[in-house]
Structure 1
Amino acid sequence: MMVEDEGLEETTESSNLDDPISDEPNDSLIGGEKTSADYYFDSYSHFGIHEEMLKDTVRTKTYQNVIYQNIFLFRNKVVLDVGAGTGILSLFCAKAGAKHVYAVECSRMADMAKEIVEANGFSNVITVLKGKVEEIVLPVAQVDIIISEWMGYFLLFENMLATVLYARDKWLINDGIVLPDRASLFLTAIEDAEYKEDKIEFWNNVYGFDMLCIKKQSMMEPLVDTVDQNQIVTNCQLLKTMDISKMASGDASFTAPFKLVAERNDYIHALVAYFDVSFTKCHKLTGFSTGPRSRATHWKQTVLYLEDVLTIGEGEAVVGSMTVAPNKKNPRDVDIMLKYSLNGEHCQVSRTQQYKMR
């Protein structure tokens, strides 16, 4: 989809790389008790979340093809893999001829990654470093390439982008490259009466009791789900493009205007956000979209339900702005403020809503 946007090529061809993941993970390394302070990293200690990401072929094969089809970028280069997980990207880079790869992973999956690297015969090329990027000591002063799959739901949830930018500023050589190097956030609007009735309006009357306090809470929490493209009522609006090679960490907080023009007479129950990523340093521009008209990914889309049901006519527009920022108490959460208005023939409304991804 939306790379009607920029003609991005989504690459998902199969390759000959054998799956390096062990069928029987070592529970003593991956299990264990979690504390609230370690929850984010320990959530990545279990193999299940990595299975989901590895099986996301849009995600994983795009990275694989970026590396295998652009060997000239990696040959004899020093690579830093930020948030390496199982080490799959590091393995791709090593197979493509990287001089050395430093795979940094803070969760206990780092122990598994070391075993995977050894099992596949890459211990002389890949060094797995267990710890936070902000705290580790890298054995080299500089790297040629930083590669990372840092994107969260709504692009910015979990705030791993800040870690990639930290690594870029600390270790990347002046003419080094970051992969991917561009990410764009988009917004559209959908009709979704059935789901809203089932999940939101349900709280109006629960076996005869008023539970509106929960309804208010449920409205504030964006839903991560797959949207049927037939539900889309308006155009898709670019909100923000981030150049990972140049941006400052503060650029991930922003306010962006939008104008969503109805393509048919319908109702609008929610706005939907999704993102695209691209690798512009490749021989051929490559990337993928997480939009509702593209192949499904584990990121799905992010749905923000509106308090109002908007009755909109073809050619009428919902206009407004979206403000996005990390939560001050927990920077891995995302605060979203949505201002919107519609001045149509059948509906006039103006409202501000607050959301929190957590």
Structure 2
Amino acid sequence: MQQVKPEDITSKDYYFDSYAHFGIHEQMIKDSVRTGSYQEAIERNRKVFEGKVVLDVGCGTGILSMFAVRAGAKHVYAVDCSSIFYMAKEIVELNKFQDKITLIHGMIEKIELPVKVDIIISEWMGYALLYESMLDSVLYARDKWLAPNGLILPDRAVLWICGIEDKEYKSQKINFWKDVYGFNMKCIQSSVLQEPLVDVVNPDCISSSLQLRSFDLYTVKKEDLSFESPFRLNVTRNDYLTAFVVYFDIGFTSLDFPVWFSTSPRAVSTHWRQSVFYLSEELVVSRNETVTGSLSVRPNARNHRDLDFSISFQHKGKINGLVSAVDSYRMR
């Protein structure tokens, strides 16, 4: 397929190559939690990087590659299949790193490297952690290109789930369709409920939270990314439960100076925000009651970069009585 340079990109190209546009990279770079955590993990651990060969999977503008060079890396192979590659090449040359950074345009699964690498760095996380399935590429790179005892950064990911009361916002989002300038469009409501909302959640809305699943990037396998995890949420106050929220923490733990950051509603906001799954029917919950259930996450069969979610739950409350439900969602 003929590659399209940034200056020649049209809206049609953006549909297939959304990471070609500088705007999304501006948003990510300006995310101080994201970029600052990577910078700290790399540049504060110079002894780890000095004289090492590094692979940057999905390099984007090349900023992580340049952090690695500034930390003393011997050489960096920076790989990206998006047309941002052309801008990254200019950026590397502007900063006079062309002798230290080799840019490779293509999918990590199809390129070749002349050597094994000592360190893999990548910013692979998507909404709800796994959206877009970029972790698959990091695991492929790990298995093919990482030298024995090599490092992966980041190397830990933890997925969390919490329950929230967000009745007013849900009403604005869902009930809006009942009266649109005097017209009834409530047939859209079911579709709205089936798509998670990516937004910043008010931490005051949280009524319960739980660590759902953790991933060790040294040992996790591709098949582990489709899973079903049970949960048991202990309610901390009398409230409504209108939605479940999924967020994640990321750790650079195999370093002299480990670094963690969180996308929790209680942490500084990031461009990932949180993923909100509105329930078809809200619950009335009381302090010390329990909501049990399971979260199923799988790549969509037709488009593996989309995620299919299923949340089943059960609650026996003083007011609702016994309530059981299964809600399905797709993130796309």
TM-score by length of 1: 0.89
Name the % identity: 51
Could you say which residue in structure 2 is the equivalent of 1:130? 105
The residue type equivalent to 2:10 in the other structure is E
Deviations 1:7-53 (A, max 9, x none): xxxxxxxxxxxxxxxxxxxx9625513558x735x111111000000
Could you say which residue in structure 1 is the equivalent of 2:210? 237
Could you say which residue in structure 2 is the equivalent of 1:324? 297
Partners of 1:145 and 1:253 in 2: CA distance: 26
Could you say which residue in structure 2 is the equivalent of 1:266? 239
Partners of 1:292 and 1:45 in 2: CA distance: 29
Could you say which residue in structure 1 is the equivalent of 2:9? 32
Work out which of the residue numbers 315, 331, 350 in structure 1 matches 2:288: 315
Listed as ranges, the matches of 1:50-89 within 5 Å are 50-89=25-64
Could you say which residue in structure 1 is the equivalent of 2:331? 357
Listed as ranges, the matches of 1:97-116 within 5 Å are 97-116=72-91
User: Are residues 1:188 and 2:162 paired?
Assistant: yes
Q: What SS does the aligned partner of 2:246 have?
A: strand
The residue type equivalent to 1:228 in the other structure is N
Shift, 1:233, TM fit = 1.1
Deviations 1:43-80 (A, max 9, x none): 11111000000000000011001011111111111100
Partners of 2:110 and 2:315 in 1: CA distance: 49
More strand by share: 2
Work out which of the residue numbers 261, 284, 292 in structure 1 matches 2:265: 292
The residue type equivalent to 1:198 in the other structure is Q
Q: What SS does the aligned partner of 1:268 have?
A: strand
Partners of 2:248 and 2:157 in 1: CA distance: 7
8 Å CA contact 1:82, 1:104 repeated in 2: yes
Q: What SS does the aligned partner of 1:150 have?
A: coil
The residue type equivalent to 1:212 in the other structure is K
The residue type equivalent to 2:112 in the other structure is V
Q: What SS does the aligned partner of 2:137 have?
A: helix
Q: What SS does the aligned partner of 2:298 have?
A: strand
Shift, 1:209, TM fit = 4.4
Could you say which residue in structure 2 is the equivalent of 1:250? 223
User: Are residues 1:91 and 2:66 paired?
Assistant: yes
Partners of 2:296 and 2:192 in 1: CA distance: 20
Shift, 1:210, TM fit = 3.9
Count of matched residue pairs: 328
CA RMSD of aligned residues (A): 1.5
The residue type equivalent to 1:213 in the other structure is C
8 Å CA contact 2:41, 2:258 repeated in 1: no
Where does structure 2 lack aligned partners over 5 or more consecutive residues? Answer: none
Partners of 1:162 and 1:28 in 2: CA distance: 26
The residue type equivalent to 1:343 in the other structure is K
Work out which of the residue numbers 105, 109, 121 in structure 1 matches 2:96: 121
8 Å CA contact 1:44, 1:50 repeated in 2: yes
Deviations 1:249-298 (A, max 9, x none): 11111100111111110111101000001011111331100000001100
8 Å CA contact 2:5, 2:83 repeated in 1: no
Partners of 1:204 and 1:80 in 2: CA distance: 52
Work out which of the residue numbers 303, 314, 318 in structure 2 matches 1:341: 314
8 Å CA contact 1:30, 1:47 repeated in 2: no
Q: 1:285/1:49 Cα in 2 relative to 1: closer, same or farther (>3 Å)?
A: same
Work out which of the residue numbers 124, 144, 152 in structure 2 matches 1:178: 152
